[in-house]
Structure 1
Amino acid sequence: MDFNSPRVSRHEIIKTKFFPLRKIYQPLDGLGFWLPVNQTYDVIHTFNRIPLTNKPWIVTFESALPRTYGDSTGQITNLLRTRLALDNCYKIIAMSDYAKLRFIEYNKGWNLLEQVTKKIEVIHPNVPIQASRAKTYDKTQALQILFVGNDFVRKGGLVALRLAKKAKAAGIPLVMHIVSKMNYGKSVYTDHPNEKLYEDDLKLLTSLDNVVFHGKQPNNVVMRLMAESHFSMLMTLHDTYGYSVIEGFSVGTPAITTNVCAIPEFVHHKKNGYVIPLELKQRSWTNLRHQDSSDEYWKILDDTCEDLAERILEILVREIFEQPANYELLSAGALKRANIAHNSETIGSYLDNLYEQALNFEKCEDKRTLLSRIRP
């Protein structure tokens, strides 16, 4: 929860281990259950889960809330979302406008929706700002691009490899860095489950001399690579957010992304990166299917990856290789966005204030009076 809580707090933050109740019963995924702690605490801040507690609490969520997929009777859903209307649920933090829209759509028809929606505030994830000036690029350098994503295909790993292959064939100086533990196929919901279909692409990890495969790496290594790269790349087919992109922004690294879900809220085309659009419906890719094993779905995935790689190469040639001065503007835009909307110092201080307000609100007998005072 580092991206959604204070990284440095004036309060004592107690972190405890979350117990995944979905392993017992999938619809219970939305219920917050943690291993007990010995210390006393005043306020609870959860991520994606709704706690059963009398303490004041705040929840941050990324898409659907409550997360009760598979609740055929609706009983668990009703139990958990009713708790969102209680006084001790002080604030509901949506990670993005997309998350807020998903919440409203997911709970459409609920009689308390309008009341509860008033508690929602959009606060984007936060990162420490690690650069103070924009980066530059000149034609004598090979363009360094960093792909980070454990779900390799879903996050756009095939697009990254095909982009490197096309650049190599065209004699364009581009180096693709890959950081991934290589989850793909039947273990990832967006992928075609037949893992043999990916073999030709995966051979490019070792056969191309402009691809550097780093495997899985700790965050400090990823951030070093991010600082050394000219672009981060997240050509994802589905992603509720995209933390690696804003981590890149924190070191002045612009991004190359698709336009799904929340991503267009913080990646702005030709301002702090390049957005390569997919056809969308309700901000999700129209062709997205879950574990479809048909030949048709593989052709869709294959053609989409090929098309995205081709479009990225075209825009890099036109906008960067032919006009290298454009790069500094993108890097400056990335840093500006990080400072305005993702600065961990600013957001951390704001969250600290929310914790105090939640506690004071719970102690106040006339909650309506305090509510009007702290929520303009």
Structure 2
Amino acid sequence: MMRPPKVLRPFGYPSQFNTPRNPRHVRMETRKWLPLHKIWKPFEVALLTPALDADLIATFNRIPLGPRPFVITFESHLPRLFNYEDSAAFRYFSRRLASRRCRAIVPISGFARKMFLNQHQGSPLYEALLAKLTNPIHPNIPVPKSRPRADRRQAKTLRCVFVGGHFIRKGGLSVLHAAKVAQQRGWPIEFHIVSNMTMGARNGVWTDPTNLDFAADLLAALDLPNVHHHGKIPNAALLELLSSADVSLLPTLSDTYGYSVIESFAMGVPVIGTACCALPEVIEDGYNGYLIDLPVTDMGIWDQLWAHDHDSPEYQRILRTTAEDVGMSILSRLEALVHDRGLLETLSDNAFQTAQDRFDASKRGPELEALYLDLLGAPSVA
């Protein structure tokens, strides 16, 4: 009997969401890779790992070096060489994507696909890259058979959870502004913050100014009695927290996807997020959550992100105003849910149904396996 092909995936959080979790027809092996980006940041584009024993490499964002064939899933730009688009390195890695070693280029969203096509518009490799570019394959997650979130119609408080390491980029200031106003008004809403509070341009956060004094009073809201800061917690603890929540919040300024959205859905928790990047493809306004308006470019990116010097007073004013405006929009949605617990339960059911229909690993995994087998020319599976 022929052995199933070996598919190698790199170790890392995103790989869990973008490869089969319980494969039956391929042998998935997770392997660590050399962190070349610690030598030079642009090396983040590359994946270097022992792979000669693999039939196929299934990678995320990083373009493999070496002779083995690969399929690459990506979230926005590819190659990820920001500000090096005119470099020899960009041309080299683009040629690797166009080469026969690259069997398929898989966007995780329509947003990612559009970004990729825009990035390579006018390139002599455009047609070769387009031929490899698939339709979006969204991330997958284990989804329980029944909704983990309990019916909280009789609960005395509305419990919200915000998840995001890059606190300002993910919209944490908007959440804190909403918490501050809710506390002032005496509304029964509690806010749980799961974040290691990474902030500032010096820490590599591309939405943030260097000086964070503009946000000092908003950050002080972390000490309010209706705010509970959990820091960074293990994923199992996060899912447990989400399963006891009513609403998940992701009012992000820049987020290619937002895995916390589908993790929330899998627990039966609706999400309030901003209408940018890929979030409108996932959150259906009024069905499984709510979308907060944010002015965006034709590509779906917040239109102020690159419009100003991030250390200018004008950009800091815009950040502050945006945080407050989005925070008030969040609060208006939460107020409605405080007064209509039946609506909340409907949103919860719909969020869980979305997870089952669109993101369940037991359904998406076989599709990915079939893609791998097709790319290798192996017999297809039913």
Residue of 306, 310, 320 corresponding to 1:302:
320
- Correspondence for 1:16 among 28, 31, 34: 31
* 1:5 maps to which of 19, 42, 53: 19
Q: Do the aligned residues in 2 keep the contact of 1:193 with 1:291 (CA within 8 Å)? A: no
The aligned length equals: 359
Instruction: Quote the RMSD (CA, aligned, Å).
Output: 2.0
Q: What's the secondary structure of 1:46's corresponding residue?
A: strand
TM alignment of 1:149-188, pairs within 5 A:
149-186=164-201, 187=203, 188=205
Q: Is the 8 A contact 2:150 2:244 kept in 1?
A: no
Q: Give the 4+ runs in structure 1 shifted more than 4 A.
A: none
Distance in 1 (alpha carbons) for counterparts of 2:326 and 2:190: 17
Deviation at 1:225, TM superposition (A): 0.4
Q: Distance in 1 between matches of 2:157 and 2:317?
A: 32
For 2:199, give the aligned amino acid: Y
Partner of 2:368: 351
Is 1:30 the counterpart of 2:45 in the alignment? Answer: yes
Task: Supply the distance in 2 between the matched residues of 1:31 and 1:262 (Cα, whole angstroms).
Answer: 24
CA apart distance, 1:202: 2.2
1:88 aligns with 2:101: yes
* Identical columns (%): 38
Q: Residue 78 of structure 2 aligns to which amino acid in structure 1?
A: L
Q: Do the aligned partners of residues 212 and 291 (structure 1) sit closer, same or farther apart at CA in structure 2, a change above 3 Å counting?
A: farther
Question: What 5-or-longer segments of structure 2 have no aligned partner?
Answer: 1-14
Contact persistence 1:56–1:88 (CA under 8 A): yes
State which of 238, 256, 280 in structure 2 corresponds to 1:222: 238
**Equivalences for 1:115-134 in 2 at 5 Å?**
115-121=128-134, 122-130=136-144, 132-133=146-147
Q: Which shifted more, 114-123 or 157-166?
A: 114-123
Please list the CA deviations of residues 183-213 of structure 1 after superposition, one character each: whole Å capped at 9, or x if unmatched: 012322101221333332222212x111111
- Structure 2 counterpart of 1:262: 278
User: How far did residue 77 of structure 1 move?
Assistant: 1.9
Taking structure 1 as the reference length, the TM-score comes to 0.90
> Of the candidates 199, 204, 216, which is equivalent to residue 216 of structure 2?
199
Residue 345 of structure 2 corresponds to residue 328 of structure 1: yes
What is the 5 A alignment of 1:106-121? 106-121=119-134
Question: Which one of 53, 71, 76 corresponds to residue 89 of structure 2?
Answer: 76
Q: Which moved more, 1:179-188 or 1:51-60?
A: 51-60
Partner residue of 2:310?
Answer: 292
Aligned partner letter, 1:173: P
User: What is the deviation of 1:348?
Assistant: 1.3
| C-alpha distance in structure 2 between counterparts of 1:147 and 1:69, whole Å | 28
CA contact (8 A) 2:309 2:315 kept: no
Deviates more, 1:285-294 or 1:144-153: 285-294
Give the aligned partner of residue 260 of structure 2.
244
Query: Which position in structure 1 is the counterpart of 2:207?
Result: 190
Alpha-carbon distance between aligned partners in 1 of 2:338 and 2:197, rounded to the nearest angstrom: 30
Greater shift after overlay, 223-232 or 152-161?
A: 152-161
Which stretches in structure 1 are left out of the alignment for 5+ residues?
A: 362-369
Q: Structure 2 CA distance, aligned partners of 1:275 and 1:71?
A: 34
Q: TM-score, normalised by structure 2?
A: 0.88
Q: Find the aligned partners of 2:349 and 2:137 in 1 and give their Cα distance.
A: 22
1:100 paired residue number: 113
Cα distance, 1:291 vs. partner? 6.7
CA contact (8 A) 1:253 1:334 kept: yes
CA distance in 2, matches of 1:314, 1:359: 52
The alpha carbon displacement at 1:72 in A equals 5.9
Deviation of 1:238 after TM superposition, in Å, equals: 0.3
Per-residue deviation, residues 23-75 of structure 1 (Å, max 9, x unmatched): 334443322212x36x8221111111222333221000000011122336432
Alpha-carbon distance in structure 1 between the residues aligned to 2:311 and 2:21: 42
